[in-house]
Amino acid sequence: MILDRPVLDHVLTLLVVIPIVGLVPLLFFMRDERAAKQVALVTTFVELVVSLVMLAQFRVGEAGFQMVDSVLWLPTLGIRYEVGVDGISVLLVVLTTLLTFISVLYSSGGAIKMRVGEFMAAFLLLEVGMVGVFIALDLFLFYVFFELMLVPMYLIIGIWGGTRRIYATLKFVLFTLSGSLLMLVAIVAVYLASGDAGSRTLSFTDLVSDRGRFAPDFQFWAFFAFALAFAIKLPMVPFHTWLPDAHVEAPTAGSIILAGILLKAGGYGLIRFALPLFPIGAQAWLPIILLLSVVAIIYGAAVSTVQKDLKKLVAYSSVAHMGFVTLGIFVLNVQGGVGAVLQMLNHGVVTGALFLFVGIQYERTHRRQIADLGGLANGWPLYTTFFGIFVLASLGLPGLNGFVGEFLVLVGTFRYEGDPVSGLVWGPLAAIGVILAAVYLLWMFQRVMYGPVREAYKDLPDLSPVEIASAVPLLALTIVLGVFPQPFIRIIEPSLERMLALASAAAVAVK
């Protein structure tokens, strides 16, 4: 049972409960903007602290799941409330709580000017879903959290978004919901195929322990259903078209979370569930996934180069960066897999920061067209310094965090020999995306920050204390992850090796 141990022994359940508890006082302070901001700030800060306690409790070097809570939820169906973390998920949980706190902190500084209480409530509910996705070990529970993320993000974009927010919101919902429903069908099929009426289960640990459970034909279609849902969430080309519209219309905090966390749910789902549960299906679809990953890297970078809207440029860069994630996962070696997880972390930090700074300048200039900007560095030296570092990290400068994940993915790709098209083909093609990233990011930075000073921007203020407080943790992580990546690799590597071993053993068992 969950209640037979001290509270901190149930730290993962606590991470789910804290935002829900924070919603209660928000109901009473819904019309008091200041009180609503304070409640949301305190709640998300406590959540961040508890996630750091969880990280401190994590035993580095152990490959299995830790801090597990497991109790029957729907006994007649064999469905459990089962949560746990390993090296693949533990850092993503901390990233989620950090970016949520930063988003609420920035929004409390005046970025949201209407219905503040409802906005903060939507963020707390969103945090429940995001944390739940990374800790759920039962497929039904995972699906509940996966869908829970959709509702508050729909509200955040639809109510507090830009002029085309309704179009962007509907597109976002239709794309993600269609993939999710297909995954639900696959989850039902997995449940029915998992055993007889009395032994059926959706527990991930039970499913992977029975390595011969699913036939090759079943795995082919089950993997397709899961992978499609996660590919839309990533998003992978050609399922990416909802992303630029959602980013452009979302408020700044919404864009931070959308890029920093929600996209990672897709990559995490592939590496946590789709690959180890359906390894034969993964092998069948492998050439197509590798091709689409490389296409996403090159296409996302090429389209970013010609963007006129600053926010769209950063949005399309996410398509390219997430292509490295899927490429690293499906080269099926440790270097690529560790690089993929690091790339998810690094992308969450850096791209979340880029959207933060795009939002900061938009609040002042009310311009996003690159041609309308210019000369901002002359009046904003602090802004320019922060923004420049994050741009360099995004393009993969050695010494900053963007380099580490991409480098490991490329190493893993060059070592890949899994199909007729070897890593000697995929590796150089993927490397083109790194070169293009330097082109579009440096060109953008030069046009926005330098050149003639525009009269309208001469007297605009530099970063405020709230904006500095929001950016400093991201800057610190950008440097620490780039200079000292080994502690993070040590957390990720054992669990990643175990996941690849499970997938390999399951494939051999079925064959």
Question: pLDDT tens digit string along 45-65?
Answer: 999 999 999 999 999 999 899
Whether the predicted pLDDT of 377 surpasses 80 = yes
Instruction: Determine the pLDDT at residue 509.
Output: 52
Averaged confidence pLDDT in the chain: 90
Q: Average pLDDT for residues 81-110, to the nearest whole number?
A: 94
469-498 pLDDT tens trace: 999 999 999 999 999 999 999 999 999 998
- Band of residue 401 on the pLDDT scale cut at 50, 70, 90: very high
Residues contacting 318, CB < 8 A, separation 6+: 243, 247, 259, 263, 300, 347, 351
d(CA 359, CA 75): 48
Tokens 């500095």, residue located: 468
- pLDDT at residue 349 in the model: 95
Range of the domain at 87: 2-510
Q: Would you say residue 6 has pLDDT above 60?
A: no
What is the b/e burial string over 81-119, where b = at least 16 CB atoms within 10 angstroms of the residue's CB? bbbbbbbbbbbbbbbbbbbbbbbbbbbbbebbeebbbbb
184-210 residue pLDDT tens: 999 999 999 887 777 788 999 888 876
Q: What percent of the chain has pLDDT over 70?
A: 95
The count of structural domains within the chain is: 1
Mean pLDDT for 460-474 is 92
Predicted local distance difference test score (pLDDT) of residue 75: 86
> Residue 3's pLDDT is what?
44
What pLDDT sits at residue 206? 87
Based on its alpha-carbon atoms, the radius of gyration of the chain, rounded to whole angstroms, reads 22
